[in-house]
Chains A and B, each alone.
Chain A
């Protein structure tokens, strides 16, 4: 199969905040689009197709708002598709844009989206509505309780403590202080995390991401078009893969299961498929930055293990020792502050890819990691069910 080389040549983000009272939903998406096009030195007419990153529309409150956004992101007269895989939406949308170009169908694709999670006070009610009405909806499942269940199981399997999760939050906030787009930028201590109000065992309030509004856009193009842009150091898409699991979490936690709920082991499959494409055989040696999807403090350990950076149950001790710190660690994990510090759900996966791309481009500002040749970006959605993994690099094959 012949695949074209694909490069990220433009990134646009708006700061993530609780509210953006000065702009509507579509104006957020438009401003991110403008920023990405300007970054790439391209105009709307250069874009051949648009992928729109939009998860549940009940957060911002206009049903199927992709249709509302068509004009704002200059998609009139062009192929347009909405992608939605829950929390993984931005990761899937990015991969759809990549595949549009890699397949040879399009030369330049815009992937863009926005979210306003705090537009409704009922966000966790909306998230409860993703469970079926027959067997699971009645039991107060939402993203907080679902992930609390996985965290409790993970703690039991590997002997991890609440304090070890709290140190992840401390590191995330420390990194976010250097990222002007991050929503939560105030440093916290382990004691402050431990003393924040209990929500759902083992989570306290500070173990949990904020409800964010904001927008992100990326411009991708075929390798032979890069010279036409103003991007001199593109982030090349070296590998992209996704995997889906059963909607039933209870199918993934018994002796008979072929996957393990607590381990986020969908990433084992997604990552190694992406690594094969990228020629990565030793992730820890070949990847310098991980921008991973971590709306809860418990998400980093199982994910880093599934991504092959360490063995099962080993991530917490490495975290404690500073191995995932921005400076001096063995791998810079979420130098942006990650999802714990900003979660505009419909674009969060895209933000991970955007922040990973900026690291490759050398444009990550105060949080730039030195000598970045490869970065990995992930997203998770549904009932811890959809997993996407993308590898970006400073060179193509």
Chain B
């Protein structure tokens, strides 16, 4: 009797290549246009008094439209941070630091890279990124109207 032997390590290879164009819309469009000018615009709701970054069309607390734009301070405080020392596929080569920072005059925190900090001693670098630490916003020379136009540096 002949039987077909199952091959346990047989696999079929596959990859997905999918392209997108994401519509930016009015709110993010206003924010991105200001980034080109080196300004960070936050949306404000006069009903709740909350100032949002990233900006929103509606206040998620009062359920009223955000009815104004406020220029955020170009400095703020770290609320949470980490230092990445392992390589992840399709993500930046390590090491790098990221932090959520609440910019002055804003009610919420926004994530970006923290640059200009020695990262070879991870616990020492982590000690310099504790919540409450002051940072500045630093814009690059070339601005494309994208969130990557700026990063944070320790004040």
Contact = CB atoms under 8 A, between A and B. Distances in A.
A285 interface: no
Interface stretch (B65-73, B102-110, B135-143): B102-110
B83 to A, nearest CB: 4
Interface residues of A, number: 47
Given A249-B100, A253-B109, A198 B91 contact: no
Contacts of B86: 144, 197-200, 205
B91 A253 contact: no
A258 interface: yes
Contact of A128 (B90, B109, B110, B111): B90
Interface string A251-290: 1011111100110000000000000000000000000000
B148 interface: yes
Interface in B48-71: 50, 52-54, 60-61
B147 A254 contact: no
Contact of A134 (B6, B24, B84, B89): B24
The CB with the most chain B CB atoms within 10 A, among A61, A145, A205, A262, is that of A145
A176 to B, nearest CB: 23
A198 B85 CA distance: 6
B126 A152 contact: yes
Given A140-B92, A145-B84, A250 B110 contact: yes
Contacts, number: 138
A142 B147 CA distance: 18
A149 B81 contact: yes
A150 B80 contact: yes
Given A128-B91, A199-B86, A254-B102, A139 B126 contact: no
Given A134-B24, A140-B88, A156-B130, A250 B109 contact: yes
B8 A250 contact: no
B152 to A, nearest CB: 11
- Residue of A125, A128, A201 ringed by the most chain B CB atoms within 10 A: A201
Nearest to A58: B16
B82 A145 contact: yes
A262 B147 contact: no
Interface string B1-43: 0000010110100101000101010001000000000000000
Nearest to A127: B88
A272 to B, nearest CB: 22
Interface in B96-155: 96, 98, 100, 102, 107-113, 122-123, 125-126, 129-131, 146-148
Contacts of A22: 6, 8
27 contacts: A61-B14, A61-B16, A121-B89, A122-B89, A125-B90, A128-B88, A135-B54, A135-B111, A135-B147, A136-B111, A140-B96, A144-B86, A144-B88, A149-B100, A152-B80, A197-B85, A197-B86, A199-B84, A201-B82, A201-B123, A248-B54, A250-B109, A250-B111, A253-B109, A254-B102, A254-B107, A261-B80
Given A140-B84, A250-B102, A261-B80, 19 more contacts: A22-B6, A125-B89, A125-B90, A135-B110, A138-B147, A138-B148, A144-B88, A145-B82, A149-B80, A149-B98, A149-B100, A152-B82, A199-B84, A246-B60, A248-B54, A249-B100, A250-B53, A250-B79, A251-B60
Chain A to chain B: the 7 pairs with minimum beta-carbon distance, closest first: A250-B109, A148-B82, A135-B54, A256-B107, A149-B80, A125-B90, A153-B80
Interface of B: 6, 8-9, 11, 14, 16, 20, 22, 24, 28, 50, 52-54, 60-61, 79-86, 88-92, 96, 98, 100, 102, 107-113, 122-123, 125-126, 129-131, 146-148
